[in-house]
Amino acid sequence: MKVWHRGHIGDARECRVPLLDHGLLYGDGVFEGIRITGGRVFRLDAHLARLARSARAIGLELPLGQAALADTVCATARAHGAPEAYVRVLVTRGVGALTLDPTDCHEPEFYCIVADIRMFSAEIRARGLRLATASQRRPRADMLDPQVKSLNYLNNVLAKREARLRGYDDALLLNGEARIAEASAANVFAVVDDVLVTPPTSEGALPGITRATVLECWRAGGGQAVERPLTAYDLTGASEAFLCGSGAGLIGIASLDDRIIGGADRPALAVLAPAYAAYAARHGTAF
């Protein structure tokens, strides 16, 4: 694992986060998770553009321009040296007084972390995920818009913790209307009547970069894909379901609350996995 902070790239144990940083104290900041695959950073420009949108949404000024951010990611990836890895870039409000008031923070902090991927094991990928429905609901957009990738991820953390303590691999988060938002850290897809369906962002789903890529790849292959609300009933009645995300990649869902979903062959995923890999090879930034 390598970390960039204040112009220096080193090991994670060398990095020091200031105690009075608002990102540490209050989750006041934004981040991006980016995949490195085949020795290339996947859709780096799209990720950094989304980082900038998230920062604007919370009134946070990025400390570096887009080109400098991209150079930093690539330099940290080179230092890590692995062709398959995970990148986390984050920007905090910076150091301020011990108060909620963010106007006392004058210098945002930027960090770039590149590490090995440790999302799901090969065994879990082979059999598919066992999901549990989280007891907590996704906050509404008028509380904290899920389109902002903020450092405030406690809702997701508690959902994941609950699922793991109950013996499941991951959690499915519902919104206040009992419709599917997403998993703890990935978007949800289902094949319903031969149509690929994913919840729209208005349901509480993050507008994922991998999610957009999956939709593009499926439509390019002649398949029909739509964004519409999904319920747990839709998911368990689907012929196939899977998650996608920068860390998770594409991974099948075997069951929800111990109810089996589809069969073991997962034909849509069998088509999408190589299509996604080919897309990544064409849309990656070499480092």
Tokens of 14: 């060398």
Q: pLDDT tens-digit profile of 212-255?
A: 999 999 999 999 999 999 999 999 999 999 999 999 999 999 99
**Which pLDDT does position 208 carry in this prediction?**
95
List of domains in the chain: 2-115 (3.30.470.10), 122-282 (3.20.10.10)
pLDDT above 90 coverage of the chain, percent: 92
Tokens of 10: 């080193």
54: Cβ–Cβ under 8 A, 6 or more apart, which residues? 30, 147, 148, 149, 150
Q: What is 198-227 written as a DSSP string?
A: E--GGGT----HHHHHHHHHHHHTT--EEE
Secondary structure (H, E, C), 143-202: CCCCCCCECCCHHHHHHHHHHHHCCCCEEEEECCCCCEEEECCCEEEEEECCEEEECCHH
What's at 59, amino acid-wise? G
284-286 vs 40-42, strand pairing mode: antiparallel
Tokens of 177: 């209307």
With a cut of 90, say whether residue 141 has pLDDT above it.
no
pLDDT above 70 coverage of the chain, percent: 100
Q: If 0-12 CB within 10 Å is exposed, 13-18 middle and 19+ buried, where does residue 1 land?
A: middle
Q: pLDDT tens-digit profile of 34-81?
A: 999 999 999 999 999 999 999 999 999 999 999 999 999 999 999 999
- Residue 158 CA to residue 160 CA, distance in Å, equals 5
